[in-house]
Structure 1
Amino acid sequence: MPEASSGSTAEQEQVAVVVVGAGQAGLATSWHLRQAGIDHVVLEASTAGHEWADTRWDSFTLVTPNWQCRLPGYAYDGPDPDGFMNREEVVTWLGGYPATFDPPLVEHTRVTSLTQDPDGFTVTSIGPDGEVTRRAEAVVVATGGYHIPVVPAWALALDPSVHQLTASDYQNPASLPEGAVLVVGSGQSGAQIAEDLHLAGRQVHLAIGDAPRVARTYRGRDSMTWLAEMGLYDTPVAQYPGGLAAREKTNHYVTGRDGGHDIDLRRFAADGMRLHGLLTEGSGTTLRFRPTLRRSLDSADAVYNSICADIDRYIEAEGVQAPPPSRYEPVWQPDENTDQELLDLDLAEAGITSVVWAIGYRPDYRWVEVGVFDGTGRPTHQRGVTAVRGLYFLGLPWLHTWGSGRFLGIAEDAEHVATHLARHVVAAPRASVGS
């Protein structure tokens, strides 16, 4: 048997389906394949569900109510369905899933390449036993779409004395050097990290973008519960205004911390947080912002009120008994003169010793050597089904609906992919076919 390039023994297996990734998407897929009696293996670079522990900060909580945590054959059944699990609770809950159906899981095994040939696919991986090559009729890529944190190239030009990290590296306020902190990005992660630092008494500067926001609770119920009842999470992406462009939208910022509440950046500002517009460039200790602060705050509040108005219309149309409607009114406005002065910021003068980048992620599918990607490196598909027979993607935001990026929607997407896959895969017992 020849040696692999790594110097370890190369093996080859035959399996009907390879599922890459053992997060909630990969495990949900495995559950359906188990039900269908389809031979498969789930390959995971680390351990099942590890990202919930490895890439979330200490005070992290879900922003969706616990009742939305539903995977095939497995649902949250704890005492607080309308609450929000913290990081450890999510890890425990998801960690209990594999034991309910015993997936054919191979952990600590990183897939290094996926290629196609006339008979199917070749999946090469590196694990504790060295390099293994698997031949498969179908492959489900369930590694999600958040692989590499986005950091602008010019960040390298900032003064090396400034500690820089991404949202996936942030742990807690005490893990950062003493001094003020600049958080860049006002999506869900950026807004919550800014709050975490603010509540710890740190001086926080927040550079905000175009992220919208939503009320935590409105007219007696969680807004996301209203929206689910209204069918918003089940509406296919193609039916939303702008169609597939919805996949590029930033999620609304809100938090499940301390039982759940709104994140109001204006309130933070009134309490001492320093808000800035869009950060565009920097060098040394000098940063430059665009004068977009007022517009961004107004836009986020407009979305907040628009969602509330949609709920109002639903309540009226359905005749639901609920508390009276309300409208958010700004509690703080940026001073125009001060806003202009803050277009330039000297990190040293402001006492800023750390910068937390929370401006999103980009996908990394360099190991997938099959032509199914658009010009941005994102897979082209219809609800996870690509134009290449036997190749599927799962776990992507807006894969089919707004709910696709949540536990609630992943279950349905996994069922769709598994059903489509079962029509084309001839299940066969796994066997070694040599190398």
Structure 2
Amino acid sequence: PRSYRDRDFVWWLGVLGLWDLEVMEPGKEHVTIAVSGSHGGFTIDFRELAHRGVTLVGLTEAFEGKTIHFTDDLSRNILDGDTSYLSLLDAADEYVRRNGLDLPEEPKARKMLADPECMTHPIREIDMTVSQITSIIWATGFLSDYDWLQVDALDGDGKPAHQRGVSSEPGVYFVGLPWLSRRGSSFIWGVWHDAKHIAGHIATQRQYAAYCPGD
């Protein structure tokens, strides 16, 4: 949630120790959180988007001429999101109870809208001609490319080779990478842990470099 019981989700992930998770759970490598900061901030509700007219579909599976085929995974993905969302609320409620905090209850946070038709009767294919679709914007994210980095600091897959941001190449460091040392490594909220570690490493290496026996 964007916020819950008068606390921002950043605060909740902090007190629950979720920013500092060091091991990725299977299937949870992607750490993007579906929230928005506009209009004061709110939780992205995919059911609400559908009820407001957005057509939700599953993963794009294939193209045949002008026909797009989708996998039947939309409902499962949304239900998996519900499970993750509700588990965080449960953990937050338990934290409040265990620590005796005086935070207002928020029962409406657990209310779900009815499943939209695109969930109960998922669209498996769309004929672009019939639907008069003339343009597609692929919002599929991006891949990192480090080919421009002309140093011996990449592994066989072309990804940064490092130990908590410290590469084997002198003077080359990495910060901001997903799961560099923890879940929060790629977020502004969490990158400071790695930046502090690397700054300390640089300071230590400078001390070694300046060392002269007998001084």
What's the TM-score once normalised by structure 1's chain length? Answer: 0.44
Please say if residues 16 and 91 of structure 2, whose CA atoms lie closer than 8 Å, have aligned partners that are also in contact.
no
State whether structure 2 residue 205 is matched by structure 1 residue 420: no
CA distance in 1, matches of 2:21, 2:116: 38
C-alpha change, 1:424 and 1:314, in structure 2 (3 Å) is same
SS in 1 for 2:56: strand
| AA matched with 1:404 | S
| AA matched with 1:418 | A
Equivalent in the alignment of 2:164: 383
Equivalent in the alignment of 1:231: 17
Equivalent in the alignment of 1:266: 47
CA distance in 1, matches of 2:185, 2:56: 32
State whether structure 2 residue 65 is matched by structure 1 residue 279: no
Q: Which has the higher contact order (CA 8 A, sep 6+)?
A: 1
Equivalent in the alignment of 1:218: 4
Residue 264 of structure 1 deviates from its aligned partner by 0.7
Please say if residues 294 and 334 of structure 1, whose CA atoms lie closer than 8 Å, have aligned partners that are also in contact.
no
What are the residue-to-residue correspondences of 1:350-365 with 2, within 5 Å?
350-365=131-146
Which of 116, 121, 127 matches 1:338?
Answer: 121
CA distance in 1, matches of 2:83, 2:101: 24
Please say if residues 6 and 104 of structure 2, whose CA atoms lie closer than 8 Å, have aligned partners that are also in contact.
yes
What's the TM-score once normalised by structure 2's chain length? Answer: 0.83
What are the residue-to-residue correspondences of 1:196-211 with 2, within 5 Å?
none
| AA matched with 2:16 | M
Aligned positions, number = 206
Please say if residues 152 and 168 of structure 2, whose CA atoms lie closer than 8 Å, have aligned partners that are also in contact.
no
SS in 2 for 1:423: helix
| AA matched with 1:338 | H
What are the residue-to-residue correspondences of 1:172-187 with 2, within 5 Å?
none
State whether structure 2 residue 60 is matched by structure 1 residue 299: no
- CA deviations on 1:361-417 (whole Å, 9 max, x unpaired) are 211111224444345432132210124444321221222222222223223322211
State whether structure 2 residue 192 is matched by structure 1 residue 407: no
CA distance in 2, matches of 1:264, 1:346: 27
SS in 1 for 2:163: coil
State whether structure 2 residue 183 is matched by structure 1 residue 398: no
C-alpha change, 1:408 and 1:268, in structure 2 (3 Å) is closer
Task: Name the stretch that deviates more: 291-300 or 220-229.
Answer: 220-229
CA distance in 1, matches of 2:192, 2:120: 51
CA RMSD of aligned residues (A): 2.4
What are the residue-to-residue correspondences of 1:27-38 with 2, within 5 Å?
none
Which of 13, 30, 34 matches 1:249?
Answer: 30
Q: Greater strand percent: which structure?
A: 1
Please say if residues 270 and 332 of structure 1, whose CA atoms lie closer than 8 Å, have aligned partners that are also in contact.
no
Please say if residues 390 and 424 of structure 1, whose CA atoms lie closer than 8 Å, have aligned partners that are also in contact.
no
What are the residue-to-residue correspondences of 1:42-57 with 2, within 5 Å?
none
Residue 223 of structure 1 deviates from its aligned partner by 2.0
C-alpha change, 1:337 and 1:355, in structure 2 (3 Å) is same
Q: Which ranges in structure 1 are unaligned for 5 or more consecutive residues?
A: 1-214, 428-435
Residue 337 of structure 1 deviates from its aligned partner by 6.9
CA distance in 2, matches of 1:394, 1:381: 10
SS in 2 for 1:281: strand
SS in 2 for 1:304: helix
